[in-house]
Structure 1
Amino acid sequence: MRDELAFENCRRTAEEASSLPPQCYVTDGAQHAEVERFFRRGWVGVGRSDMVAGTGDYITLDFAGQTVLLLRDKDGGLRAFANSCRHRGARLVDGEGTCKGIRCPFHSWFYALDGRLVSAPQMEAAKGFDRADNGLIAYRAEERAGFVFVCLDQTAGPLDDHLGDFLDIHAPWPLAKLQTVRRRELEVDCNWKMFLEVFNEYYHLPFVHPDSIDSIYATPDPADQVAGAFATQFGRTEGTGALLESAQDNALPDMPGLMGQAMQGARYTWVFPNMTFAANKDALWCYEAYPQSPNRCKVVQTACFHPETCALPGFDTRVAAYLERLDAALAEDVPALVNQQRGMECPDAVPGRFQPDLEPNVASFARWYSSAI
């Protein structure tokens, strides 16, 4: 793909940079390169740790042509395996749940929570067969600040090298303590990068969200200079950005322990390649986006709150207004994204310039992408 696309202008500062070439959003070749480089060889954000909170909890994660089984072992550690039996490749489980081990539904091979093959009926007849050599294919899985990251490549660098100073910048928010209230999956008819881009820019707010959330957001601060594969920008809000303009009376208390700037607005962060979130003073909402085709992606939305907030009387009623805000904003974003995808597929589409104050996170991703791909 590097021979086909010119990335020179993407590597400049936001004040001078242009967006990624349109081919990155519409061609099979671009998606193949992204899957191989980003999703198969790098660290991927796959959601919140409490997806698998207790021993034996599991969830299946299907992304970028890969099928992963994520679970919590007996020692409380996070494990990720290929969701494929070592016998003849059958898919082991679907969905999510709790188990004492993993049993293949085809021939009843049984695996412990640490991936060891415990039993394989009648396999003693196979010469040289050793259960120790036939455990599940393991991947790397780690937790930071309540987020889960998976890497399929055993030779890739450490997660902390990828994240850089991510933990320091987000230290004002108790991210690791937050509880998931709702996890929602959907599919959107746009390229996966487009979905993440719109979440990370303020430029569209008065035009796509004029009557829902635009008036809440002030002009954001300059983007932070970071040392990691992420981009982040803080912006002050009038009220809480986690509620619609018309629903501010439903505001929940600030997260315990917040101080200074963190009490004044929201930090929008994009952890490359595929996870983004807003750390607000009263809530966290997170999105993951995964490619399905050049013009279609799977999106996972997660809404999180502090345990003390979740324990308040009337929380279930008040949180409904927060979830309504997420759904309403998404319902306004999706048509804009579908329309952008249609326009990007024009054979004569060309890269455009960024608004440097309102789109710096998007410019940072383009700069990272153009070097990483």
Structure 2
Amino acid sequence: MTSPILTDSFFASLESSTLNLADSETLPPECYTDADFYEFEKEALFNHEWLCVGRVEQVANPGDYFTTKIIGEPLVIAKDRAGEIRAMSSVCQHRAMLVAEGAGNTRGFVCPYHHWTYDLDGRLVGAPAMDKTCNFDRKKFSLPALKVEIWQGFIFVNFDAEAAPLAPRLTVVEEAIANYDLASAELADTITGSFAWNWKVMFENNNDGYHASKLHQGPLHDFIPSNLAVFPDAAAEDAGFLRFNGALHKDPSFNPTQKAILPIFPKLTDEDRTRVTFANMPPTLSLVMTPDLVIYLILRADGAETMEQDTGVLVAPGAKKDPAFSHKLEAIMNSAAKIIAQDMHVDELVQVGLRSRFAVRGRYSWQEGAQGQFNQWLVARYRKAWDRLKGPKKPVKLAAANG
């Protein structure tokens, strides 16, 4: 690492972002803008953490697949003939052509360039005209595989073959959202967008309780005011953290009525139904949970100042059977779109501000408790990766004394 900012002093300065919120300050602007820091961050976070890529409903049947990309790596997610969900590189092991695009159902993956053919589990099963190639062994040319874990119906992958399981580090989050029973929820819609800002800008906005009553003031959002935000404690080993935002009435929902218009998730308690729950699993997944709808956001970094995001909608089992379902969902999503547009405008301009010579390390309000937890999650991993990458200190070589 030779970047001028990747130094011991820079990483030592990050500790001030992990203090108690009343004493803490924001991360340095370079963490959101610097290309070398992004390259470091890929190793510190994305190469070893569990990354959400989608929902099991997207690969419901054998042969179903979809493609995605994160930190520049094109991936294909598929259900094989035995019913196991696989995550693989979609890069052909011959000349690097992608073997899959989009989504669909297939018997296998055929590289369109030279027709090397891969089974649904990634094994190379066909390689035309390779009979004269010396010592060619198909078994050595399978699509590289990633670890897979399913949590609450979400598909997580990990580039690190030695990574510890995810679920044991999400017990606090899982207990808090258990009554939504997301594994049984129904997928209603998904969209994907590309954005010109750092992934952390988006993730922090998703976490932030402070801006709710300021940026989003008005009838589409004012039923969950910022002063009713609560941030449960998160332990250092946790892989996720929470924000509960109390509501001014039961069954709040983002639509002009401010109240649920779709069926309520059936297992919710009265406590669940008088708040909006925000669950965050960095670096890729955020959940916005109202009693009648869950919006999930899958953040996919692809540069220091660029990212993509998959946005999905989950509803209670059976909700889609209502003849008026599409109209009710449209009412919610039209309202949500107005709120999201406000967030997107802020994200864009925050990224502009972070590039300025006048950008400073700011201070936090108590209503930004999730930001403090996010910083603690980040800095612990930055510190560990920096210590690993810089290697042991080299001994100082003293000049021989004269005489």
2:254 maps to which of 231, 236, 243: 243
Deviation string, structure 1 residues 25-52 (Cα, Å, up to 9, x no partner)? 1111221112222122221122322222
From 285, 295, 303, give the equivalent of 1:293: 303
Calculate percent identity across the aligned residue pairs: 26
Instruction: Give deviations 1:124-182, integer Å, cap 9, x for gaps.
Output: 32233222222211111211001111101112222235435332232121111112211
Amino acid at match of 1:137: P
Q: 1:43 aligns with which of 50, 56, 61?
A: 50
2:220–2:258: 8 Å Cα contact kept in structure 1? no
**Runs of 5+ unmatched residues, structure 1:** none
Uncovered stretches (5+) of structure 2, i.e. residues with no partner: 1-5, 383-403
Larger radius of gyration: 2
How far residue 224 of structure 1 moved from its aligned partner, in angstroms, is 1.5
Secondary structure of the residue aligned to 1:248 is coil
Residue in 1 that maps onto 2:185:
178
Partner of 1:165: 172
Distance 1:295 1:127, change over 3 A: closer
The answer to whether 1:361 aligns with 2:373 is: no
Contact between 2:260 and 2:292, CA under 8 Å: does it hold in 1?
Answer: no
Deviations for 1:163-220, whole angstroms, at most 9, x for unmatched residues? 3533223212111111221111112222111111111112112221112533110433
1:229: Cα distance to partner?
1.8
Compare 219-228 and 10-19 and name the one that shifted more: 219-228
Q: CA deviation at 1:122?
A: 2.7
After superposition, the Cα gap between the structure-2 partners of 1:184 and 1:120, relative to the gap in structure 1 and judged at 3 Å, is: same
Paired letter, 1:74: R
Matches within 5 A, 1:1-373: 1=6, 3=8, 4-5=10-11, 6-218=13-225, 219-227=227-235, 228-237=238-247, 238=249, 240-244=251-255, 246-248=256-258, 251-356=261-366, 358-373=367-382
Aligned residues: 371
Structure 1 residues 310 and 331, CA, compared in 2 at 3 Å: closer, same or farther?
Answer: same
Q: AA paired with 1:208?
A: L
Which segment drifts farther, 286-295 or 186-195? 286-295
Cα distance in 2 for partners of 1:87, 1:360 equals 49
Range with greater deviation from structure 2 (323-332 or 158-167): 158-167
Greater CA drift, 196-205 or 157-166: 157-166
Pick which of 235-244 and 179-188 moved more. 235-244
Do 2:252 and 2:273's aligned partners in 1 also have CA atoms closer than 8 Å? no
Q: Distance in 2 between matches of 1:44 and 1:2?
A: 27
CA separation in 1, counterparts of 2:42 and 2:266?
Answer: 39
CA RMSD of aligned residues (A): 1.9
Contact 2:278 2:289 in 1 (8 A): yes
* TM-score normalised according to structure 2 size: 0.87
C-alpha spacing 1:181/1:303, structure 2 compared with 1 (3 Å): same
**Per-residue deviation, 1:329:** 1.0
Distance in structure 2 (CA, Å) of the matches to 1:225 and 1:326: 28
Give TM-score scaled by structure 1 length.
Answer: 0.93
In structure 1, what residue type is equivalent to 2:193? L
User: Whole-Å Cα distance in 2 between the matches of residues 89 and 326 of structure 1?
Assistant: 40
Q: Secondary structure at the match of 2:262?
A: coil
